[in-house]
Amino acid sequence: QVQLLESGGGVVQPGRSLRLSCAASGFTFSSHVMHWVRQAPGKGLEWVALISYDGSNKYYADSVKGRFTISRDNSKNTLYLQMNSLRGEDTALYYCARDREMASINHYFDYWGQGTLVTVSS
Amino acid sequence: DIVMTQSPDSLAVSLGERATINCKSSQSLLYSSNDKNYLTWYQQKPGQPPKLLIYWASTRESGVPDRFSGSGSGTDFTLTISSLQAEDVAVYYCQQYYTTPLTFGGGTKVEIK
């Protein structure tokens, strides 16, 4: 069965960095566009970034552009999010999510991980 | 960016009654070349990640009960729960995938009256 397992969250001071990972299993990881979506405590969902199935194309929300970098290692079935210059407003539960359609430009999500919590605080 | 606006923010419905959630986009989500609306609906229960319910505005995901239905086109969409069950208590989100950045509505909380 499809599983997405995020890790790497924690408490970090403003201005510092953190790298999140998402280990995928149960499907052909290299065939799917992957995403990071976040949810601030008690708030709604915010899309953060996507990466194409082969890693050649990446798109970001304006709120993280220039600070966050999405990447993937298809040999390890793992998705990453490098987060630099963190701010208080980045505090959220970070989910990785899979595009429902393989190698698609239609970006909606059929599987989500349980999320990893990032808290930015001094 | 496409702004997604949901209404109401919350609603309380009696068991077995109909629940209707609205979602309005700031521009059309209908792609003329394929006549498809790039709109999806998710359900999020407390402490859980979102679950895909509906895509292409009206196509039910496999395994989703048929009491959930999606409708609408262009800029106005609706999620209907025809007969509310206790397990449907959740927050519901719409999301557009017409273009990046992908954007979500603010969510609608559904409770039992």
From A119, A111, A120, A101, select the one nearest A53 (Cα to Cα).
A101
Q: How far apart are CA B65 and CA A112, in angstroms?
A: 20
pLDDT exceeds cutoff 90 at A23: yes
> What's the whole-number mean pLDDT along residues A19-28?
98
pLDDT exceeds cutoff 90 at A104: no
Side-chain-facing half-sphere of A43: CA atoms under 13 Å: 15
Q: How far apart are CA A22 and CA B82, in angstroms?
A: 37
Q: Which of A109, A111, A117 to mutate to test the interface with B (most CBs of B within 10 A)?
A: A109
Residue A5 confidence (pLDDT): 98
What are the chain B neighbours of A97 within 8 Å (beta carbons)?
Answer: 49
pLDDT exceeds cutoff 90 at A101: no
From B91, B92, B94, select the one nearest B105 (Cα to Cα).
B94
Confidence category of residue A106, pLDDT binned at 50, 70, 90: confident
CB spacing of A115 vs B49 below 8 angstroms: yes
Tens of pLDDT along B20-60?
A: 999 999 999 999 999 999 999 999 999 999 999 999 999 99
CB spacing of A45 vs B38 below 8 angstroms: no
From A105, A16, A22, select the one nearest B49 (Cα to Cα).
A22
Q: What distance separates the 2 farthest-apart alpha carbons in chain B?
A: 43
Where does residue B109 rank: exposed (0-12), middle (13-18), buried (19+ CB within 10 A)? middle
Q: How far apart are CA B39 and CA B74, in angstroms?
A: 10
What are the chain A neighbours of B55 within 8 Å (beta carbons)?
Answer: 100, 108
